[in-house]
Structure 1
Amino acid sequence: MIRDDNARRAARDAMIKDAKYRAAGKWRGLLESAGLDKTWLKKGVPCPFCGGHDRYSFTDKWGDGNYFCRGCGPGDGLKLLQFALGGVSFMEAIEWAIQWSGGSVPDLSGSALAPRPVLKSSDELTPAEVERRKGRYKKLWDAGFRVTQGDPVWKHLERRLPGLEESEVPRVLRFHPALEYWEKDDNEKWVHVGNFPGMLAAIQGPDGVCCNIHRTFLTEEGEKAPVPSARKKELSIGVKGGAIRLLPLVGREMSVAEGIETSLAVIRYRGESCWSAVDAQGMEEIAIPDEVDLIRIYQDNDLPDQRGRRRGFEAGEKLAQRAKAMGKRAIKYAPGKAGMDMDDFVRSLPKRA
């Protein structure tokens, strides 16, 4: 057993070294391929981790995809890669970097250390890898509980929806008492920051089957946990078009918003069955069921980023265009003032009869 553990440890160290060697001088292309917005490959821009307005600069100073933030400190390309891939683990980021460059990685779960097949993207996952990731989803989901009054998830949602009743919380949301959160220390070593209560949300693909789990890290009082990335998805199995289906559709209409909280506000204050697209990319890609004739889009009127882009607003526009191209009606709702809180905006709208 000790020999096997030593072999796995040696293989792990070799993988890390291999990944950094392969990525040296290629971090920009690698991170863009992973989906990192080009904004975070520039200097003097908002930090993706702490949100500081102009604290963050990508430098690649030491050839490791280095960046520096005046608020939360330095980091490297592997931390950015984890962020770009939706909060995957350190070793999953290592595997992705190796596979992106055409290499293969060993299976560290057994003593044989047999090489794994090359997986360049989530679109090329083997059936075995898909099942492994699905197993992660199930294990995480099974560790959660139904949301009940007084738990951290209920407190979090009740801040947005005063007087929240347990019956208002959809079954696709769960409370997890101790989500593990990992972060790098000043010596670039991964450390277990702590366990936080959290909200789990099942993301269902176009076929209605769970294709990912979204996690929101919280405090015991229901506020966002004091961590760089309080919202994360699990590692993808490559299914696009998914959404958090908070309620079943009614009739031939569909409503969609980005965040879970905004979608719940639409359900309460507008009386509509609303799905959460999770983020701007999800808004662009969400699958529109064939039976839907009308889609109501609650789009963010976000402030422009450093490149002048309004990612949330643009995502809503693209979804509306796609719906119309499919022969469906699309009605868009957006705050008149850029940067207005979406929950406040939804509450200001008249409730539909």
Structure 2
Amino acid sequence: MIRKSEKSKFNEPLSETVQKLVDQFGGWLNVFSRVTNSFDRALVNLGKTVDCPFPHRHGNGGGKGKFRLSASDVVGHEGRGICTCMQDGGMGAVALLMEDGVGGGQYAQCLLTVLRALDPATKDTHVRKETAPVVVGPKNSVMDPQEVARRKERLDLIARDLVSLDHPTAAPARAYFKNRGIPLNSNIQDVKFHPGLKHWADSETEPEKKVLLGTFPTIVSAFRSKDGRVVNFHRIFITADGAKAPVKEVKKICSPMPGFSGSAITIAKTEGRVLHVTEGVEKGWAIHLVTGESTKVAYSCTTLPTVHVDRAMYDSVVIWSDCDPVKPNRTRQSGDGQYFAWELARRLFTEGFDVTFMMPDGNPANAKGRDWEDVIVQEGVLDLSGSYYRFQTLKTFAAKGGVHKRQIAA
């Protein structure tokens, strides 16, 4: 589709404008109390479990005593909702507000609602249902220097024992990728191997305590901020023979440094001006093997809309969306994977990129279907000759053959 660029009243992406206001307002916890009353019980019991504000996501139990808001002031974690009805990483602040129906459950409208609630020019006209509760928690979202130093030390302790995936000791990592049908080569970038990291998990009997589940070989990938700094690590815990570790949370991230918002893992970097974006290290590597082009991945689908793409480095972006099931009793009639990936596509198009949106076709609406790694492996796409032919083949498995939106000069 050909469409002329439209000038925005904002001088930067809306997400960045909103985040600056949120920081000034004291963090997302105070935004919750400003915008909605759905999280009041969780706010006044910060870090402790209360009834889930989304009982429709649960069965007969309705989520009684299953939900809590994170008390952490980690950038990206402060205000994160944790519940049995959510993925292991929980839901970020914006995702929680959207699930609550703020802005009609639409990403951009949700941000605009927050903007109106915090902007000095409009905040006095914003009214929520009742008086906001007093939030006992982080007074602001700026980490103190001591906490930054502690987190940097933890990341440095991991980094000092990392080796490349072709190192003799990294055999478990090579086996892991081989078992998935996506062989490694030297193009892989910020993905390394650690011979043994401890895996801690929440105690089932004492929620405030951690228990050590074991020490496992680990694939460690680096999140880089907009300016290229390593601001966090993503970990995949595996076994010596390349299987997933026998733990509930196989994939985890560390406590991030400032600058984590908008960061991504660089899977591969090539000379071209096309960037492929998806979620998940393994899927990102499979997509690079198909295309031979630069690839970055987000931590999860909910962080996709904020991924930074440098306009000076890339002209075109191909977004590889999951096709998640539509959750029952939800106003939004699309799964999380495709919804947040499309929000990224919309944002990048307004920023002047040519955008191609690739979503697997033919998945059932009420169940998790194949993602792009599944398609690539199961259809033998890597056995085909030439990246152009492989990409065109994948388009036959994409909804509408892939959706392309091209920016042109006015």
Same-fold call, TM > 0.5?
yes
Q: Paired residue for 1:230?
A: 250
1:216 & 1:285 partners in 2: Cα distance? 23
**What's the secondary structure of 1:201's corresponding residue?**
strand
Task: Give the partner amino acid of 2:300.
Answer: D
Q: How much does 1:56 deviate?
A: 7.9
1:205 aligns with 2:225: yes
Correspondence list, 1:17-56, <5 A = 28-29=42-43, 41-43=53-55, 45=57
- In the alignment, structure 1 segments of 5+ residues that lack a partner are 1-24, 47-53, 67-76, 87-99, 104-118
Q: How much does 1:101 deviate?
A: 3.9
**What's the secondary structure of 1:297's corresponding residue?**
strand
1:231 & 1:128 partners in 2: Cα distance? 27
1:156 aligns with 2:153: no
Aligned with residue 210 of structure 2, among 177, 190, 206: 190
Aligned with residue 370 of structure 2, among 317, 340, 343: 340
Aligned with residue 284 of structure 1, among 305, 326, 330: 305
Q: How much does 1:208 deviate?
A: 0.9
The CA deviation string for residues 284-336 of structure 1, in whole angstroms up to 9 with x for no partner, is 11101022211111111111234354111011111111111112110111111
**What's the secondary structure of 2:193's corresponding residue?**
strand
Residues 316-325 or 334-343, more deviating? 334-343
The CA deviation string for residues 234-268 of structure 1, in whole angstroms up to 9 with x for no partner, is 11224211111122242322111111111111111
Residue 190 to residue 126, structure 1, CA distance change in 2 (3 Å): closer
Q: Paired residue for 2:20?
A: none
Q: Paired residue for 1:109?
A: none
Q: How much does 1:230 deviate?
A: 1.1
Residue 281 to residue 55, structure 1, CA distance change in 2 (3 Å): same
Q: Paired residue for 1:301?
A: 323
**What's the secondary structure of 2:154's corresponding residue?**
helix
1:275 aligns with 2:311: no
Q: How much does 1:131 deviate?
A: 2.9
The CA deviation string for residues 27-46 of structure 1, in whole angstroms up to 9 with x for no partner, is 53479x99x9xx96545747
Q: How much does 1:133 deviate?
A: 1.4
Q: Paired residue for 2:196?
A: 178
1:184 & 1:324 partners in 2: Cα distance? 41
1:132 & 1:30 partners in 2: Cα distance? 28
2:53 & 2:250 partners in 1: Cα distance? 22
Q: Paired residue for 1:248?
A: 269
Contact 2:348 2:355 in 1 (8 A): yes
Residue 134 to residue 187, structure 1, CA distance change in 2 (3 Å): same
Q: How many residues align?
A: 276
Q: How much does 1:281 deviate?
A: 2.3
Residue 58 to residue 293, structure 1, CA distance change in 2 (3 Å): same
Q: Paired residue for 1:259?
A: 280
1:166 & 1:194 partners in 2: Cα distance? 30
Residue 286 to residue 80, structure 1, CA distance change in 2 (3 Å): same
- In the alignment, structure 2 segments of 5+ residues that lack a partner are 1-38, 70-79, 93-133, 364-368, 390-410
- TM-score normalized with structure 1 length: 0.67
**What's the secondary structure of 1:226's corresponding residue?**
coil
Contact 1:58 1:65 in 2 (8 A): no
Q: Paired residue for 1:311?
A: 336
Residues 204-213 or 77-86, more deviating? 77-86
Q: Paired residue for 2:150?
A: 132
Q: How much does 1:228 deviate?
A: 1.8
1:295 & 1:78 partners in 2: Cα distance? 30
Task: Give the partner amino acid of 2:63.
Answer: F
Contact 2:234 2:253 in 1 (8 A): yes
1:253 & 1:330 partners in 2: Cα distance? 10
Give the number of the structure with larger relative contact order, counting CA–CA contacts within 8 Å between residues 6 or more apart: 2
- TM-score normalized with structure 2 length: 0.58
Residue 153 to residue 305, structure 1, CA distance change in 2 (3 Å): farther
Residue 43 to residue 328, structure 1, CA distance change in 2 (3 Å): same
Task: Give the partner amino acid of 1:139.
Answer: L
Contact 1:257 1:263 in 2 (8 A): yes
Identity %: 24
Residue 289 to residue 65, structure 1, CA distance change in 2 (3 Å): closer
Residue 30 to residue 201, structure 1, CA distance change in 2 (3 Å): farther
- State the Cα RMSD in Å: 3.6
Contact 2:52 2:64 in 1 (8 A): no
**What's the secondary structure of 2:356's corresponding residue?**
strand
1:57 & 1:216 partners in 2: Cα distance? 32
Q: Paired residue for 2:350?
A: 325
1:40 & 1:157 partners in 2: Cα distance? 38
1:340 & 1:324 partners in 2: Cα distance? 26
